[in-house]
């Protein structure tokens, strides 16, 4: 029973229409309930998800199949012409209903002048998979498709049916000779050249300062380095002469021949004679080459390792620059700055910067970082190198700083939101226990806001890693002969130009002289860029999740 003196609030009695199960007209109207809008939002989300899966699936399919070895087909035309090559695709002939055409990669660009041809399907009188046909990947002029006619070595000449087996036996030793020559030229000779250049710069500085004793010591050191250079150059010349004694004669299907050193061949195989295991071996070798080697043939073949290295290094440098400054700016605006119209104007400016086109940041980076800062650094620290610029030209340092400015608004806004999410009671409790404001921020606020700060960093990495337009002005190049990192002090050469996966896609897709050959490389590189950004984001997300579990409120 309810005690006396206790008053109870009673709900209003439902109307007679409600008691009979009737629903008010406002609740019975689907437009007022918002049901169509819910379905519209769900349909839009479904379309976006399908488009995303379609894009990723297309990149995955075309990117992974780019390295699969295709069969070689011999096509005999009505006029008696015979072609040998890979059939890449078949499509309808424009303006001729019911007639299709084949795109055939015949290779042998040094013989025919083209890599690909189109042939009408109705003009082909015979198609056959030719046994014994060889697909040869060369360091220059693209692939050669044909037959191995003869192999010439100091031991003699092998021709006929045994030529291919002899060629394959000599291919691996030829690779070792090529790698030895490359290690000598880029390693030992490159180190001597680098040391000689440093000596020349130090001598120029000593001449400018009038240090005659230093000049004499540098001249003696330079004399020893020049003698060492001549010795290494002579050794490289002898190695090249030895390598030139091993040659292979290749022949096309119509009998034209080409002779080249065996070391110029990267890979050779008979695709029509390979089983599934053999084709998987070729596929794995090509895939490893794509990740670990340098590009060749105008970036349409070979690997993209310099672009991978440049993309990752630039993204890490950008993160190192943008996160501390973005967090400090957000801390000052949220924790220290007084609420005024100036602070509101600064916040509006930061938000507006997020919508500025990226090419504008590239122009600013070119004018401020490259020409202004870089020019002053060259005049102050490297006057002996002028007029050749050191920091007064594009490089990975200026590219990283330019992208740091580009993504700084993202980090600032995300950090401010993370700081606002930290409960005010934690600040008050820390201050009441005698902690200073800075101690409270350092030990309470920043750890609690770290998941949100990392969210801003993730967004910044996702945007910065895929930007191309500003990089074209501040340091990215088509082909970088040297990486920004090597074994020569100071090890990290931030003034050097670099390659980038995004610019590599643009260059190969739109600037390549051989568009058909470049298409598979475009899809493979695009897939790789997506994977690199995904890996960087997943790493940051994993760190953020750990911090969330550690600094959980409530």
Q: Give per-residue pLDDT as tens, 366-390.
A: 999 999 999 999 999 888 888 889 8
CA atoms within a 13 Å half-sphere pointing along the CA-CB vector of 408: 22
Q: Label residue 287 left, alpha or beta by phi (over 0 means left) and psi (-120 to 50 means alpha).
A: alpha
Residue-wise pLDDT tens digits, 56-100: 899 899 888 889 999 999 999 998 899 999 999 899 988 788 889
Residue among 367, 456, 461 nearest 419 (CA): 456
Lowest mean per-residue pLDDT among 172-176, 391-395, 542-546: 542-546
Q: How confident is the model at residue 486 (pLDDT cuts 50, 70, 90)?
A: confident
The pLDDT value recorded for residue 542 is 84
Q: What is the pTM of this model?
A: 0.86
The pLDDT value recorded for residue 4 is 56
Q: Is the pLDDT of residue 482 over 90?
A: no
Residue among 308, 324, 365, 316 nearest 492 (CA): 316
Region 22-51: mean pLDDT is 79
Q: How confident is the model at residue 243 (pLDDT cuts 50, 70, 90)?
A: very high
Residue with the two structure tokens 């034209």: 256
Residue-wise pLDDT tens digits, 510-535: 888 788 888 888 999 999 988 888 88
Q: Is the pLDDT of residue 290 over 60?
A: yes
Cα–Cα distance for residue pair 447/427, rounded to 1 Å: 12
Percent of the chain with pLDDT over 70: 94
Q: Are 399 and 314 in contact (CB under 8 A)?
A: yes
**How is 264-319 classified by DSSP, letter by letter?**
GEEEEE-GGG--HHHHHHHHHHHHHHHHHS-EETTTTEE--HHHHHHHHHHHHHHH
Of 326 and 540, the one with more pLDDT: 326
Q: Do strands 265-269 and 134-138 pair parallel, antiparallel, or not at all (unpaired)?
A: antiparallel
The pLDDT value recorded for residue 554 is 52
Residue among 514, 510, 523 nearest 107 (CA): 514
Q: Is the pLDDT of residue 37 over 50?
A: yes
3-state secondary structure 393-441: CCCHHHHHHHHHHHHHHHHHHHHHHHHHHCCHHHHHHHHHCCCCHHHHH
CA atoms within a 13 Å half-sphere pointing along the CA-CB vector of 288: 7
The pLDDT value recorded for residue 24 is 53
Region 426-449: mean pLDDT is 90
The pLDDT value recorded for residue 463 is 85
Region 271-275: mean pLDDT is 93
Residue among 287, 523, 536, 331 nearest 445 (CA): 331
Q: Where are the alpha helices (DSSP H) in 184-211?
A: 189-209
Q: Which residues contact 137 (CB under 8 A, 6 or more apart)?
A: 143, 265, 266, 267, 268, 301
Of 164 and 546, the one with more pLDDT: 164
């Amino acid at each position: 029973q309810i005690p006396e003196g206790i008053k109870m609030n009673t709900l209003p009695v439902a109307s007679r229409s409600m008691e009979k199960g009737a629903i008010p007209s406002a609740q019975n109207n689907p437009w007022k309930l918002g049901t169509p809008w819910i379905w519209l939002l769900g349909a839009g989300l479904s379309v976006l998800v399908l488009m995303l899966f379609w894009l990723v699936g297309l990149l995955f399919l075309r990117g992974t199949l780019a390295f699969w070895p295709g069969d070689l087909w011999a096509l005999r035309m009505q006029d008696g012409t015979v072609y040998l090559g890979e059939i890449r695709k078949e499509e309808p002939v424009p303006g001729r209903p019911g007639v299709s055409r084949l795109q055939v990669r015949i290779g042998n660009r040094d013989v025919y002048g083209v890599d690909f041809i189109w042939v009408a399907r109705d003009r082909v009188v015979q198609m056959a998979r030719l046994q014994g046909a060889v697909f040869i990947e060369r360091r220059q002029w693209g692939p050669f498709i044909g037959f191995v006619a003869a192999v010439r070595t100091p031991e003699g000449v092998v021709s006929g049916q045994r030529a291919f087996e002899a060629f394959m036996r000599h291919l691996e030793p030829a690779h070792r000779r090529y790698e030895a020559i490359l290690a000598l030229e880029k390693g030992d000779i490159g180190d001597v050249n680098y040391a000689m250049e440093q000596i020349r710069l130090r001598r120029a500085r000593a001449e400018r300062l009038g240090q005659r004793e230093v000049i004499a010591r540098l001249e003696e050191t330079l004399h020893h380095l020049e003698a060492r250079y001549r010795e290494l150059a002579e050794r490289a010349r002898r190695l090249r002469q030895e390598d030139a004694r091993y040659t292979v004669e290749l022949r096309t299907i119509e009998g034209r021949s080409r002779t080249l050193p065996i070391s110029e061949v990267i890979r050779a195989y008979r695709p029509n004679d390979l089983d599934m295991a053999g084709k998987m071996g070729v596929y794995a070798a090509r895939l490893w080459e794509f990740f670990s080697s340098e590009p060749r043939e105008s970036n349409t073949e070979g690997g993209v390792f310099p672009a991978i290295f440049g993309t990752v290094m630039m993204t890490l440098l950008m993160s190192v620059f943008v996160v501390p400054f973005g967090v400090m700016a957000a801390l000052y605006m949220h924790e220290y700055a007084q609420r005024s119209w100036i602070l509101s104007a600064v916040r509006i400016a930061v938000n507006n910067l997020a919508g500025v086109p990226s090419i504008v940041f590239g122009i600013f980076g070119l004018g401020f970082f490259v020409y202004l800062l870089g020019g002053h650094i060259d005049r102050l620290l490297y006057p002996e190198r002028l007029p050749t610029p050191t920091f007064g030209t594009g490089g990975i340092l200026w590219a990283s700083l330019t992208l740091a400015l580009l993504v700084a608004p993202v980090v600032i806004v995300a950090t401010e939101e993370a700081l606002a999410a930290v409960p005010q009671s934690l600040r008050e409790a820390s201050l009441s226990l005698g902690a200073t404001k800075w101690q409270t921020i350092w030990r309470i606020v920043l750890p609690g806001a770290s998941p949100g700060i990392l969210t801003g960093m993730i967004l910044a990495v996702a945007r910065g890693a895929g930007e191309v337009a500003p990089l074209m002005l501040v340091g990215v190049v088509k082909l970088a002969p040297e990486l920004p990192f090597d074994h020569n002090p100071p090890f990290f050469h931030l003034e050097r130009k670099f390659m980038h996966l995004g610019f590599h896609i643009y260059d190969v897709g739109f600037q390549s002289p051989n568009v058909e050959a470049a298409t598979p490389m475009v899809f493979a590189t695009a897939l790789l860029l997506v994977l690199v950004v995904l890996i960087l984001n997943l790493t940051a997300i994993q760190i953020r999740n750990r911090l969330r579990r550690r600094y959980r409120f409530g």
